[in-house]
């Protein structure tokens, strides 16, 4: 098993990564305080993995709440349903909440844990690649608003993250690829060696070779843990983790939640960021092509949706947490492995990128 630590002083916590962790009572029990547990999962993941998890929680008063499956359910109404389930028991302030599922379950459960009685203990058990390499680590929790993605939320760190790699065996190929987008992101923003390693190993990753998957998850989480330890509340360097997200969120919202997967939108968004960086004279066209090739080999889309025109993009991109004084700040690339936050790009060049004008 590989174990990483997110170093946040008294709120530091471990990330456990290995096969077959789900039913491991010895691993999970030390992070549970109180005698009540509320496991939140969804209608797809619960039939697959809830029973195994429950075996590690025997002797505790365990409640479960099953959400409908989909990004479109990461909203205030479904959040209210979680509060209702907690209050119906009623669950007390020592209750440990456990998120069992992908990023949607993790984000909404984490936000519920942050709010319920002003905060109860919380454990992340991510079951998608995307959640294992990104959303379960770092304490960003949120729900969507019809006008903007992840616009209502809180920073709230889990007590531990348990990434059982064997759960990825039941993930469909499209979801695996969506997770690879966030893996590739770490290489692009700060880890050239990892990007080169991904170029060598992407086929084995797509084939779910467990050894290669474990290394990719470990290296991704190590990158994320370092960034979060340096800048938990995104005053600076953490913003780089949003490479491709301003474009991607516009695609997700503009195309309707759930139509483009988050990872797919981020993949195309990262290429759009690379394209704008190239038009601006920072990254080379050859490097942009290298990025597009890796994304395509990972099974990800690289062509922005034709349905969104430039004005609609700009309108959607204005609802972004990096907007300051009405100006859209973007994460751009000086090179592969070297990202920066820019508000100095030329807005005509941005329009060219958004219009999908060649070269992209
Ligand atoms: P998801 O949670 O919708 O899961 C994808 C699909 O896979 C769902 O249908 C789910 O039911 C299913 N699933 C989950 N685990 C499975 C398994 N083991 N076997 C079979 N099916 C399984 O999507 P996601 O890609 O995990 O997460 C995307 C969400 O994460 C978005 O809402 C995004 O905004 C959020 N996110 C948050 C952060 C953060 O820092 N908090 C970072 C990145 C993304
Ligand atoms: N997924 C971006 C972040 O956690 O900051």
Tally the C-alpha atoms within 13 A of residue 359's C-alpha that lie toward its C-beta: 13
C-beta atoms surrounding 12 within 10 Å: 12
Active site residue 140: yes
Alpha carbons 135 and 199: distance in angstroms, whole number: 23
What spacing in Å lies between the alpha carbon of 101 and ligand 1's midpoint?
A: 7
Alpha carbons 20 and 55: distance in angstroms, whole number: 13
pLDDT at 84 (0 to 100)? 98
pLDDT, one tens digit per residue, over 114-144 is 999 999 999 999 999 999 999 999 999 999 9
| pTM score of the predicted model | 0.96
Catalytic residue among 63, 145, 204, 238: 238
Question: pLDDT category, 237, cuts 50, 70, 90?
Answer: very high
SS (H, E, C) 275-338: HHHHHCCCCCHHHHHHHHHHHHHCCCCCCCCCCCCHHHHHHHHCCCCCCECCECCEEEEEECCE
- pLDDT tops 60 at residue 321: yes
Q: Which CATH number fits domain 2-170: 3.40.50.261, 3.40.190.10, 3.30.70.980, 3.40.50.1970?
A: 3.40.50.1970
Lowest-confidence segment of 20-24, 109-113, 182-186 by average pLDDT? 20-24
- pLDDT tops 70 at residue 178: yes
Encoded tokens for 251: 């695609």
pLDDT, one tens digit per residue, over 151-164 is 999 999 999 999 99
- pLDDT tops 60 at residue 360: no
pLDDT at 257 (0 to 100)? 87
> How many helical (H) and strand (E) elements, i.e. helices and strands, does the chain have?
13, 11
pLDDT at 148 (0 to 100)? 84
Pairing of strands 122-126, 160-164: parallel
pLDDT, one tens digit per residue, over 254-294 is 999 889 999 999 999 999 999 999 999 999 999 999 999 99
pLDDT, one tens digit per residue, over 99-114 is 999 999 999 999 999 9
Beta strands in 49-208 (DSSP E): 61-67, 96-101, 122-126, 140-145, 148-155, 160-164
Active site residue 118: yes
**CATH number given to 173-355:** 1.20.1090.10
Catalytic residue among 249, 279, 321, 329: 249
Give the mean pLDDT of 154-182: 98
Active site residue 249: yes
- pLDDT tops 70 at residue 38: yes
Q: Which atom of ligand 2 is nearest to the CA of 241?
A: 2
Which of these, 74, 73, 34, lies nearest to 57 by C-alpha position? 34
Measured from the alpha carbon of residue 129, the closest ligand is 1
Alpha carbons 290 and 295: distance in angstroms, whole number: 9
Closest protein CA for atom 3 of ligand 2: 241
Mean confidence (pLDDT) of the chain: 96
Measured from the alpha carbon of residue 240, the closest ligand is 2
pLDDT at 149 (0 to 100)? 87
Domain borders along the chain are 2-170, 173-355
Give the mean pLDDT of 58-69: 97
What spacing in Å lies between the alpha carbon of 59 and ligand 2's midpoint?
A: 35
Query: How large a percentage of the chain has pLDDT more than 90?
Result: 92
């Amino acid at each position: 098993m590989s174990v990483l630590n997110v170093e946040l002083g008294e709120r530091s916590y471990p990330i456990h990564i290995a096969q077959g962790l789900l039913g491991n009572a010895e691993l999970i029990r030390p992070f549970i305080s109180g005698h009540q547990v509320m496991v939140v999962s969804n209608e797809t993941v619960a039939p697959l993995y809830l029973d195994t998890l429950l075996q590690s929680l025997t002797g505790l008063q365990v409640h479960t709440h099953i959400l409908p499956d989909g990004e479109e359910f990461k909203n205030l109404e479904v959040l209210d349903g979680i509060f209702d389930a907690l209050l119906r028991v009623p669950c007390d302030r020592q209750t440990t909440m456990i998120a069992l599922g992908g990023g949607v379950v993790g984000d909404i459960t984490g936000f519920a844990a942050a709010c319920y009685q002003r905060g109860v203990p919380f454990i992340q058990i991510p079951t998608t690649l995307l959640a294992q390499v990104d959303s379960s680590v770092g304490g960003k929790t949120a729900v969507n608003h019809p006008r903007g993605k992840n616009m209502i939320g809180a920073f709230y760190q889990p007590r531990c993250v348990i990434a059982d790699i064997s759960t990825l065996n039941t993930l469909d190929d499209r979801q695996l690829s969506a997770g690879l987008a966030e893996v590739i992101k770490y290489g692009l923003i700060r880890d050239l060696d990892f990007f080169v390693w991904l170029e060598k190993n992407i086929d084995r990753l797509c084939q779910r070779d467990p050894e290669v998957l474990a290394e990719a998850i470990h290296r991704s989480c190590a990158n994320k843990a370092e960034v979060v330890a340096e800048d938990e509340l995104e005053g600076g360097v953490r913003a780089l983790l949003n490479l491709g997200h301003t474009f991607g969120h516009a695609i997700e919202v503009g195309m309707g939640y759930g139509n483009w997967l988050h990872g797919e939108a981020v993949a195309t968004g990262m290429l759009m960021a690379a394209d704008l960086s190239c038009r601006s004279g920072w990254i080379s066209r050859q490097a942009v092509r290298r990025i597009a090739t890796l994304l395509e080999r990972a099974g990800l889309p690289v062509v922005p949706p034709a349905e969104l025109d430039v004005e609609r993009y700009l309108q959607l991109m204005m609802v972004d947490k990096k907007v300051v004084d009405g100006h859209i700040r973007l994460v751009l690339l000086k090179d592969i492995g070297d990202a920066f936050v820019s508000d100095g790009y030329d807005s005509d060049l941005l329009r060219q990128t958004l219009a999908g004008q060649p070269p992209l």
